[in-house]
Chains A and B, each alone.
Chain A
Amino acid sequence: MRLLRRTLMALAATAMLTAPAFAADAIKIGLSGPFTGGSASMGVSMRDGVRLAVEEINKAGGVLGRPLQLVERDDEAKNDVGVQVAQELINKEQVVATMGFINTGVALASQRFYQEAEIPVINNVATGTAITQQFKPDNYIFRMSAADTIQSNMIADEAVKKRGFKRPAILADSTNYGQLGQADLEKALGAMGIKPVTEEKFNIGDTDMTSQLLRAKAANADVILTYAIGPELAQIANGMAKLGWKLPLIGSWTLSMSTFIDNAGVNGEGAVMPQTFIQSPTTPKRKAFIDAYQAAYKVDRIPSPISAAQGYDGTLLLAAAIKQAGSTDGAKIKAALENLNTKVEGVVTVYDHPFTATDHESITANIPVFGMVKNGRVVAENPADLEGANAVRLKAK
């Protein structure tokens, strides 16, 4: 049955993807993300952000006099499909570099193949801490998002130090994302001498959170910390409303997903989460990006603003590195990324030597700010965080 499903999908995919005409000398860049399923809003936003950047680069004459060409593949947020995509992009499409991933599990399963083939990977969205630590030295994996350790420290800080909660309950989904994030959260809370009163688990697609919430209630929790994705997060907020028991929600950046905000409605108002980017024109570059996105995809609210912004910025950095390397050789691009001499003005921040040979994280703890769900949108919890000199937060050296 599984085989048949795969074959049919492969057939459908080939039928769809053999259509566009190929420019003879285009530079092929792979793009792997979930364009279907529960994390699709992130995958599609990332893809659209990347597409915007590629369009702009190509309009300005491309890189090394050649246009960039995206080879997009749906990894369905499944680890095994991600591996197939990686092998196809490397062996069949012979991409120069790949941009991905949304899901930590998919990233960890697929990036090994790029590492072995010496093809650089720009990880735009996945946040699992292990992603940039898997291969050392000579690591081909770079990241544009705020790693989970950064987020978990911020979450613990907000809950314990700023708001004075003492009895947090952690609700995390059963994926790599949820479970690794939960471990990071435990560690961050432990460093403050706090132990979560309970830790509850649920699966993707679960619609009823009664058991989890009643356990948190029985443990006398005073705040809910989350590591999960949109639809299930919405069920948590809705479940609390049903039980007539409302606690503040503080969680990883996924609380900004439209699938959380829309499906939780009023029950989701006030939830806070770390954000590298908030859809608000706080700099001219951000305004231009938001306007271009809205015009190109005919939306008012970007489904996942962070994914779009990080995808856009990742593409700019990759293009700058290919230009500096003067070549499409993987090792040379990697070397250029590790010592990028041009300052790149992105949407999230201005990148000045974002990576080194030992540091493949473009985001440091001082860059993200807390966003809050308010009237169905994510706004800065504390607007002063993004005003004046704070608007562009540079990587700490």
Chain B
Amino acid sequence: MFDFQTFIQLVVSGISVGMIYGVVAFGYQLTFATSRTLNFGQGEALMLGSLAGFTIMTQLASHLGIPMPLAYLLMLPLVLMFGMAQGAVVEWLGVRQAIKTKSEAGWIMATIALGIIFKNLAENIWGRDTFTFPAPLPDAAIQIGGIRILPMEVLIVCGALALMAAVELFNRRSIYGKAVVATSADIGAAGLMGVNTAQVITLSYALSSLTAAFAGVLVAPVTLTGASLGSALGLKAFAVAIIGGLTSGVGVVVGGVLLGITDRLTGYYISTGYQDVPGLVLLLLVLSFKPSGLFGKSAIKKV
């Protein structure tokens, strides 16, 4: 018997989980566009942002007596700044040297190593357990025609879309953003036109970690937070980035939502034991038939 309501409930849950993957994958896409490098510590950037946000929020609440929804709003700009700084540090320590020496794999090792260091750091500061992130919205589910959804899940979807729209707008409208787009299009030509491409790459890393930090405080009330938050999400998001295409902002959103929904549907209609299989199959199919991703532009490598 096909129960339509259950189907919609699964799709809704899939979208909200998929949007979490998408917003993390969006960060991969940002740095890849400008420098053809990725921050393999993207998951850790998300985790750090989330934990930093947690600390800022609890400090605001306990020392200044600011109530929760307001504390959440006040925390946001601070966390975004924290994310930018963290991204700039990653680029400065891990990526710049590799790009300068045209090292093919140096940045892979360096960003992974930095990720591990950030994780250990977080374990020392915040401990190793998973804990609850105070939600800015009530945790009672809202009901729309029999479908139940948490207010936080709605916020995740809207917040993620708003963030990605804001970054796209920044890239298209602001002079700095135009430098980013120019560098993505052709780093050599952009350099000749007077764009400081090294600075643009730093900026893209800062933006990438900014989205990660924002994603961290956005998803944490639902996923719980802790030093191990990054590893699980980072890996899943990487698959999403490959499926959607590393060069396309829209692609990662679609890829994330696609993966989130297929996971849920397979879990319910086939077996929860196979919940992760369709995602991997999708990944393999994309890699075999369209390696640049569903929405990616195929790269032509000139040697």
Contact = CB atoms under 8 A, between A and B. Distances in A.
The answer to whether A and B belong to the same complex is yes
Interface of A: 1, 4-5, 8-9, 12, 35-38, 40-41, 44, 174, 200-203, 205, 207-208, 210-212, 214-215, 218, 230-231, 234-235, 241-244, 258-259, 262-263, 265, 303
Given A5-B112, A201-B273, A244-B148, A208 B129 contact: no
A265 B131 CA distance: 11
Interface string B109-133: 1001100100010010000111110
Contacts of B228: 36-38, 205
7 contacts: A4-B109, A36-B123, A40-B128, A203-B276, A208-B13, A210-B10, A243-B141
B132 A9 contact: no
A41 B130 CA distance: 9
A41 B129 contact: yes
B6 A9 contact: no
Nearest to B123: A36
Given A211-B272, A212-B272, A218 B129 contact: no
Contact of A1 (B108, B123, B128, B141): B108
A242 B272 contact: no
A202 B129 contact: no
Contact of A36 (B128, B131, B149): B128
B273 A242 contact: no
A207 B17 contact: yes
B171 interface: no
Contacts of B224: 207, 231, 234-235, 263
Given A36-B227, A174-B273, A208-B16, 17 more contacts: A9-B116, A36-B123, A36-B128, A37-B128, A37-B228, A38-B228, A40-B129, A211-B10, A211-B264, A211-B272, A211-B275, A215-B268, A234-B130, A243-B141, A259-B129, A262-B131, A303-B129
Given A231-B130, A259-B129, A263-B224, A8 B10 contact: no
B226 to A, nearest CB: 8
Contact of B120 (A1, A12, A37, A214): A12
A210 B148 CA distance: 11
A241 B142 CA distance: 11
A8 B3 contact: no
B267 A205 contact: no
B69 to A, nearest CB: 18
B128 A214 contact: no
B113 A38 contact: no
Contacts of B263: 211
A262 to B, nearest CB: 6
B3 A218 contact: yes
Interface string B236-276: 00000000000000000000000000011101100111011
A174 B273 CA distance: 8
Interface residues of B, number: 43
A238 to B, nearest CB: 8
B9 A210 contact: yes
Contacts of B58: none
B116 A5 contact: yes
Interface string B178-213: 000000000000000000000000000000000000
Given A41-B129, A44-B128, A265-B132, A211 B268 contact: yes
A37 B3 CA distance: 38
Contact of A207 (B3, B112, B223, B267): B223
**Closest 8 pairs (CB-CB, A-B):** A211-B267, A205-B232, A40-B128, A210-B13, A207-B223, A231-B130, A211-B268, A201-B273
A5 B111 CA distance: 11
B61 interface: no
B17 A230 contact: no
A35 B128 contact: yes
A46 B131 CA distance: 20
A363 B88 CA distance: 55
A298 to B, nearest CB: 13
A205 B21 CA distance: 14
A260 to B, nearest CB: 10
A263 B130 contact: yes
Nearest to A35: B128
Contacts of A4: 109, 112-113
Contacts of B13: 208, 210-211
A327 to B, nearest CB: 37
B256 to A, nearest CB: 13
Nearest to A266: B139
A11 to B, nearest CB: 11
B150 interface: yes
B167 interface: no
Most A C-beta atoms less than 10 A away, residue of B17, B116, B226, B272: B272
Interface string B125-160: 000111110000001010100001110000000000
Contacts of A303: 129
B222 interface: yes
Contacts of B132: 262-263, 265
A243 B9 CA distance: 9
A212 B267 contact: yes
Contacts of A44: 128
A76 to B, nearest CB: 10
Nearest to B153: A242
A242 B150 contact: yes
Given A37-B128, A205-B232, A215 B272 contact: yes
B272 A201 contact: yes
Interface string B214-231: 000000001110111001
Contacts of A201: 271-273, 275
B146 to A, nearest CB: 10
A325 B97 CA distance: 60
A37 B231 CA distance: 10
A263 B134 CA distance: 10
B25 to A, nearest CB: 16
Interface string B1-29: 00100100110010011000000000000
A322 B93 CA distance: 52
Contact of A8 (B17, B116, B265, B267): B116
